[in-house]
Chain A
Amino acid sequence: MKPSLFDRVLIAAAIALAILWMLPLVWVFVLSLKSNAVLMERTDAVFSTPFTLRNYADILANPAVFRWVLNSCVVAGVQTLLVLLLSSLAGYGFARCEFRGKRVVFALVLAGLAVPEPAVVIPLHRFFADLGLHNSYAGLILPRLAAPFGVFLMTQFFKAIPRELEEAALMDNASRWTIFWRVILPLTLPAQATLGIFSFLAAWNDYLWPLISATRPEMYTLTLGLASTQTNFAQSEGLGFLMAQAVFAALPVLVLYAFFQRHIVAAVSGSRP
């Protein structure tokens, strides 16, 4: 069937918007392929040859960068898994279990959404300093496990699952844990995927907390480590290197997206992969 004129206009508009959305990314990528010296004189030099991979080579020439990638993978991976686990357990508890003060506790959790990070960062820093946890993976991961948004999302999702499924399992003598793990949790995969994406991206791009918790270069995450290599006037004298850093830092996330594209699209659209 031939698409109607209206459909064609819609597709053309979607393509135009997609190109518009892509332009800054393309701009960043092309800038990353130009030398710093050229860009300091003329930014419009991106429209002409020569191009170079020197900026990427400069990033990789720093041996510490591989340690920073590893640190980011550990922190973002472990943090995502633990946020999923804790948010699911808490969400299930709020959605299905009855206990005294549930409403108050849930309200307190939601109140966490309204607290800006800078308001708690100094007390949190002192607390972790007293525990001696700075410059460690635990110090980087633990403060981010309190995820009010995750608890809220999972609570709402669990509430939407019919109670009859649990009641049927209860009649088959299944324990509360078995019901959670075997029956209910698999039904929440779209929500888990959504929360997982948000958590991973937040952990990967996190800057403020790693900045003040990891002060030894060997414990830097990738964002922190790459930023530390920038000179004071990087926006003018090191623009190509700066853009290459942006592309380099985004690469693992893009690779991850390529692998899990099917699941991510399904999660966002609310369908099964």
Chain B
Amino acid sequence: MKRTLLAIAAALFTGAATAAPVEITLARFFGSCDAEFGQVTDPARVSSECGIVTVLTNKFNAQQAGRIRVNTQVVEHSAYYPQLGARIVGGDLPTIAIMHSSVLGDFAKRDLLQPLDGALDATDFTPHARHGVSFGGHVLALPYDSHAMLWHINLGLMKQAGLVDAAGHARLPTSPQALLDQARAFKRATGKPYFVWLTLNDPSFFARSVLGLVNQQNASLFPKTDQAIDLGTPEVRAAVSFMRTVYAEGLSTRNMDYSAALQAFMAGAGGVMPNGTWLLGQLNDRAAQPGNPLSRAYEALPEPTLYARPATWADSHVWVMLRNAKQTPAEREAAHQFLRFLNDESLAWARTGQLPARQSAVDSAAFKALPMRASLGPVAQVGTGLPPTVARQSRVMGLLGETVAAIVVSGEPLEATLAKGQQRINRLLERESRFLAR
């Protein structure tokens, strides 16, 4: 009897020890840095997007050794969505995938996403994050961050122009006219343009700027329905005219793409570079080094409120689970565990420069202790995008940006160009609507 029991125990033990872990796949961009961080499990040792997401995956795999294994499938950023689309069509689905909240609607309308209501506690999500992942009363994704436009400021030049307050912070304008006055004074004092703008090959810069300025006027680019953009409103005309004036008066740099603008800002070519939260880490590092134009003379602030209410463009990285008939309950539960783990590590991801998607993380002392973050908390409250139900948002923003760039940079007539842009965008949305109706 004793021998039999021992044999059963041994068999059970052997069985448990050799049971293969549940394997799930994680499709994402952000690059691959296994060579550098493949063995690291402490997120405090890294600060890049690629590094932190790699280390967090390592940490989860280490914690769940023998039970769950997350296998990462990395795809280049620009090719990510075409590949994901093909994988959905071909039925080769990753268990978890990263997305931007701005494209979530396209997948939600096609009923491709698993609701995560029971798996996650959404009460702690920031307003912007919750808004971005909620469709039809369901939470369809785990929001991972909010990334928004900020003003990256060269305090040395601002001081030279007399545009800093007693505490040494930049004095931000509170109306379009105040901004123009500041920019003119800045140019007179420093001989340099106030803004470092991304005017080449980056239509998203113009689209994001206009979206923020329009929403600040208590208006929307989609005032009546999510099926049709309206670029003929006084608010849109005011925003675009304002940007055109800045450019025409030489108050911004010219002919610069993303890389050139970043180089120019770091070289002290202008006072303010409107760009994303994702640059915080790099520019902080630059400011910490001696002997360059940003040395101890850099700060980042939320975009100023020039009209009635604060609003700034923001998007989110979100994690989704695609509907998959072949998925086992064990895989689903393993994926939920990994998502909860990522949610718990929200603060670690914030070290990349992105803003946490959890309000408790935004309010935490640990977050505020990170460089510049104390003043950036409000961005999580006022971040705004297109209405979530607007289809093909990436393309819509691209077309909007091209339209605005044509007016601001190329000097095309305002009314006619806006009308043409509106026509192009609405034609796209009509096609999409017809496709979904089939």
Contact between B35 and A62, CB atoms less than 8 A apart: yes
Contact of A212 among B29, B72, B86 (CB under 8 A): B86
Contact of B267 among A41, A58, A234 (CB under 8 A): A41
Residue-by-residue, is B250-273 near A (CB-CB < 8 Å gives 1, otherwise 0)? 000000001100110011000000
Contact between A41 and B31, CB atoms less than 8 A apart: no
A156 touches B (CB below 8 Å): no
A129 touches B (CB below 8 Å): yes
Contact of B259 among A62, A121, A125, A235 (CB under 8 A): A235
- Nearest-CB residue, chain B, relative to A235: B259
Residue-by-residue, is B28-55 near A (CB-CB < 8 Å gives 1, otherwise 0)? 0111111110000000000011100000
A6 touches B (CB below 8 Å): no
Stretch of A77-85, A94-102, A224-232 that contacts chain B: A224-232
Contact of A231 among B30, B34, B79, B89 (CB under 8 A): B30
Contact of A211 among B31, B79, B263, B267 (CB under 8 A): B79
Contact between B76 and A230, CB atoms less than 8 A apart: yes
Would you call the interface of chain A mostly helix, strand, loop, or mixed? helix
Interface residues in B271-325 by Cβ distance below 8 A to A read 278, 282, 286, 292
Known contacts A58-B35, A236-B262: does B86 contact A217 (CB below 8 Å)?
A: no
Known contacts A215-B83, A230-B77, A232-B30: does B263 contact A129 (CB below 8 Å)?
A: no
Contact of B282 among A40, A215, A216, A227 (CB under 8 A): A40
Interface size class on chain B is 35 or more
- Cα A122 to Cα B90 in complex, Å, equals 8
B165 touches A (CB below 8 Å): no
Min CB–CB distance A146 → chain B (angstroms): 19
Contact of A122 among B35, B86, B267 (CB under 8 A): B86
Contact of B278 among A217, A229, A233 (CB under 8 A): A233
Min CB–CB distance B362 → chain A (angstroms): 23
Interface residues in A39-74 by Cβ distance below 8 A to B read 40-43, 58, 61-64
Contact of B32 among A40, A216, A229 (CB under 8 A): A229
> Count of A residues near B, CB < 8 Å?
35
A239 touches B (CB below 8 Å): yes
A134 touches B (CB below 8 Å): yes
Interface residues in B201-224 by Cβ distance below 8 A to A read none
Contact between A232 and B49, CB atoms less than 8 A apart: yes
- Cα A61 to Cα B258 in complex, Å, equals 29
Contact between A40 and B262, CB atoms less than 8 A apart: yes
- Cα A119 to Cα B92 in complex, Å, equals 21
Contact of B49 among A63, A126, A129, A231 (CB under 8 A): A231
Contact between A232 and B29, CB atoms less than 8 A apart: yes
Known contacts A129-B91, A134-B92: does B35 contact A63 (CB below 8 Å)?
A: yes
Min CB–CB distance A206 → chain B (angstroms): 13
- Cα A49 to Cα B73 in complex, Å, equals 38
A231: which B residues are within 8 A, CB to CB? 30-31, 48-50
B248 touches A (CB below 8 Å): no
A166 touches B (CB below 8 Å): no
Contact between A233 and B87, CB atoms less than 8 A apart: no
Contact between A40 and B75, CB atoms less than 8 A apart: no
How many residue-residue contacts, CB under 8 A, span A and B?
98
Min CB–CB distance A37 → chain B (angstroms): 9
Interface residues in A173-226 by Cβ distance below 8 A to B read 207, 211-212, 215-217
Contact between B90 and A232, CB atoms less than 8 A apart: no
Interface residues in A121-165 by Cβ distance below 8 A to B read 121-122, 125-126, 128-129, 134-135
B292: which A residues are within 8 A, CB to CB? 41
- Cα A237 to Cα B36 in complex, Å, equals 16
B259: which A residues are within 8 A, CB to CB? 40, 43, 235-236, 239
- Cα A231 to Cα B47 in complex, Å, equals 13
- Cα A43 to Cα B29 in complex, Å, equals 26
Known contacts A129-B90, A236-B262, A239-B259: does B82 contact A211 (CB below 8 Å)?
A: yes
A211: which B residues are within 8 A, CB to CB? 75, 79, 82-83, 86
Contact of B258 among A64, A122, A135, A235 (CB under 8 A): A235
B370 touches A (CB below 8 Å): no
B10 touches A (CB below 8 Å): no
- Cα A40 to Cα B36 in complex, Å, equals 20
B90: which A residues are within 8 A, CB to CB? 125-126, 128-129, 134, 212
- Cα A61 to Cα B35 in complex, Å, equals 5
B33: which A residues are within 8 A, CB to CB? 229
Min CB–CB distance A143 → chain B (angstroms): 13
Min CB–CB distance A221 → chain B (angstroms): 13
Min CB–CB distance A232 → chain B (angstroms): 5
B7 touches A (CB below 8 Å): no
- Cα A239 to Cα B266 in complex, Å, equals 16
Contact between B86 and A125, CB atoms less than 8 A apart: yes
- Nearest-CB residue, chain B, relative to A229: B32
- Cα A207 to Cα B262 in complex, Å, equals 29
Min CB–CB distance A1 → chain B (angstroms): 52
B74 touches A (CB below 8 Å): yes
Min CB–CB distance B231 → chain A (angstroms): 29
Residue-by-residue, is A237-259 near B (CB-CB < 8 Å gives 1, otherwise 0)? 10100000000000000000000
* Sample of 10 A–B contacts (CB below 8 Å): A41-B263, A41-B286, A62-B32, A126-B89, A129-B89, A217-B74, A228-B74, A231-B49, A231-B50, A232-B31
Given A228-B74, A229-B33, 18 further pairs, Cβ under 8 A = A41-B286, A41-B292, A58-B35, A61-B36, A62-B34, A63-B35, A64-B34, A126-B90, A129-B90, A211-B79, A212-B82, A215-B73, A228-B31, A228-B75, A232-B49, A232-B278, A235-B258, A236-B258
Closest 8 CB pairs of A and B: A129-B90, A212-B86, A61-B35, A231-B31, A227-B76, A236-B259, A62-B35, A229-B32
